[in-house]
Structure 1
């Protein structure tokens, strides 16, 4: 399968991407495996992963990406934990799994960094982000997440993992909570990212 790889792990300080977080929350690095375009192969893959039960595909993609990260750069060498963006319990029950956790598992296997599902929780159910603009997305998630075990994050370098980076508001909200709880730095890895 020929995927549109970003190769961002060679330039994880790409200002175009980091500007999504500028002045809001300090992200130490940001990299995505492939580009997401409407109607493209990656959108179809993500749809299969999120809505058609293809959780193993999430793990496999993440494992490939993890291998690249391990062999081609030193980006994640100081990371202590991988934490997937959590789903609310009702959405998790409906879907049966959290694709971000499966992505974190695939990365964990390749990178030999522990993935944890008990660090961040989604406190309340919120509507889908899909059709919202940047401001609406931020308002939709700004008080949604909480760190359940602050003692587990203090002084640590944590990588937040998700499937797709669009406006960055969900990851921004997760990072803000982790930093508030005392973690040293937050990096971000996603399977896909939109071009802008």
Structure 2
């Protein structure tokens, strides 16, 4: 018969396994001691963008040129169909691995803290929100959990009660940029507007594609008097 202590250890082990996958998301090999989400080899081979070193790259900011002013725009890694980053995004969005989203945000936050001055004078992170029905279905907002990881590494608070999603967006997958913008331009709204007035805000999302969703969120925040909006995403489509 198992002792109470043994049972407690088993329960703790089960809880840890629930929070963190025991297999590497990239190669499906068992994770070693102190490895989280990815094994050391897969983590080293992540296609990092290093955009935090050049946050004013015109190729990045052109996504928003003439639309909304963006303080900076940077992504942690490049997204390629069928690649390791796609596996990571799928895991954090559709397999319940919210702690994996936080872990990845923490990795990026540590990189930003040690290699960049990008986030000086930033007041808060805001994750791009999900509609309440989608949030109930998924159980969490992956953008908020990425933001929590960034927050932990950078000691900048996350505001989860400011930006809300008013209606469910139709799928963006097969839409061009103009169609995506039409799909999201009236989707988001600010509540508790006093929290954003005069503040320097960083929007956080999982993947940057055309930027239409982030543009709509930025426009809404600026409308309510925030001082500036920067954008960080976990991944960016490498076109």
Which interval holds the TM-score relative to the shorter structure?
A: over 0.9
Number of the residue aligned with 1:19: 62
CA distance in 2, matches of 1:96, 1:136: 28
CA distance in 2, matches of 1:6, 1:113: 23
Alignment of 1:82-161 (within 5 A): 82-161=125-204
> Deviation digits for residues 145-169 of structure 1, max 9, x if unmatched?
0010111001100000000000000
1:58 lines up with 2:95 in the alignment: no
SS at match of 1:186: strand
Number of the residue aligned with 2:112: 69
For residue 174 of structure 1, the aligned residue among 201, 205, 217 is 217
> Deviation digits for residues 82-124 of structure 1, max 9, x if unmatched?
0000000010011110000000000000010000110100011
CA distance in 1, matches of 2:151, 2:174: 31
Deviation at 1:193, TM superposition (A): 0.3
Deviation at 1:125, TM superposition (A): 1.3
CA distance in 2, matches of 1:81, 1:129: 27
> Deviation digits for residues 61-83 of structure 1, max 9, x if unmatched?
11010001011111001100100
CA distance in 2, matches of 1:128, 1:160: 21
Greater relative contact order (Cα < 8 A, sep 6+): 1
Question: Displaced runs of 4+ in structure 1, greater than 6 A?
Answer: none
Aligned length: 196
| Unpaired segments ≥5 residues, structure 1 | none
SS at match of 1:9: helix
CA distance in 1, matches of 2:53, 2:200: 19
Give the superposed CA RMSD.
0.7
Per the normalisation by structure 2, the TM-score is: 0.81
Number of the residue aligned with 2:36: none
Choose 1 or 2 for highest CA Rg. Answer: 2
CA distance in 2, matches of 1:191, 1:71: 17
Deviation at 1:131, TM superposition (A): 2.1
Deviation at 1:192, TM superposition (A): 0.1
Per the normalisation by structure 1, the TM-score is: 0.98
| Unpaired segments ≥5 residues, structure 2 | 1-41
